[in-house]
Amino acid sequence: MRLFTSALCSVVAIGLISGCAGNMSPSSSALPGAGQQFRTGFTPVNVMGVPTRAEQVLHSILQPDVMRNASSGLYVSEFDASDVYGYPAANKGNKGPTCMVPNVSYVNGIGVDGAGNLMAPDGGASYLLLYKGPGMCGKSFGEIADTYGQPSDAASTNAATGKIALANIFDTGKTPGSLSICTNKGGCTTNLTNSKIYEAGGVAMSTKGDCWLSASGVESGGTSPSLMYFKGCAGKGAAATGFKNTGYGNLDIDSKGNIVSTDSVAETIYVYSGCATACKVVSGPFKMHGQSFFGKLNSTSTAYAMADIANGAVDVYTYSPTKIKYSYSFTKGLAASLVPIGTAYNPRSKE
């Protein structure tokens, strides 16, 4: 798997994807397709505000009596859809979405902060969109322009009041990706770069305010990966030693402070400790059930959900620092043609 760049605007393999538009305001790109080109091989969604068949089906699943904010759940993003969906946190019964966040475009990774706020990087508009927690599918409370590049993932302890780490697949002008540091009120004011970053994927932030970024070192296949550590989410960063991934991917932090890292090339999952310049393998590699890039832990770090791109599903695993095992999948309201890619539990894992 590898990232899809704005220069390509087409499927090369399975991995992160970015929109085919430059920086636009939310008002001009809230409806996917407005002034944008679509990637080949997939059906445009909500072009000029007209719902597609997939969206009509989804709205029929969302019955009026369940279109409410649940106190907890699992968010799922599809790259070629215009909504982020809220599902039950435990969904062995394959239930459909219970709520949605509308008018987003080209979303890859999504995140929930420590306060339960949803962070949705809009790759079409190059904005980070913020939605109020702690309940599911809350109201919008922030739109942060990503002036440095095309956002792929976000992490924060509190997106409303604190620092936000925003990964950029590529920077403006198709230069290598980066890690932008932003706030809701101040916008994105700092851009962290390093020569080891080519494409930037998943990002994680510790409760102490340190940042990690999963990055590919070369264009081909998302390979030559590095786990970049930024102490205090600042400076030039350093590539952590002991990183065994063959490809870059998602990052999350479990309740023990371990870093969970997906390998999008080998389609495996590792658990690392340390990684403040030196990683130690706690466990792994564990083989993924499907083809995934992003995954997130639940509040107790006992479940790990990954969007399954190839199968139009979400795969849920039981999790402990020493063992990750596939448990079940759910599919209702999702479609492989719309590219399910991001997940985020609310509440999130408590470090």
pLDDT at 113: 98
**For 53-91, what is each residue's pLDDT tens digit?**
344 444 444 433 344 568 999 999 999 999 999 999 999
Instruction: Answer whether residue 7 shows pLDDT above 80.
Output: no
User: What confidence tens digit (pLDDT) does each residue in 83-117 have?
Assistant: 999 999 999 999 999 999 999 999 999 999 999 99
For residue range 291-341, list pLDDT tens digits in order. 999 999 999 999 999 999 999 999 999 999 999 999 999 999 999 999 999
Decide: helix, strand or coil at residue 226.
Answer: strand
Buried b (16+ CB within 10 A) or exposed e, 119-145: bbbbbbbbbbbbbbbbbbbbeeebbbb
Domains in the chain, CATH or no CATH each: 26-346 (2.120.10.30)
Confidence check: pLDDT of 195 > 80: yes
CA distance 51 to 142: 25
Phi then psi dihedrals of residue 86, to 5 deg: -110, 125
- pTM of the entire predicted model: 0.85
- Closest by alpha carbon to 182, among 204, 166, 201? 166
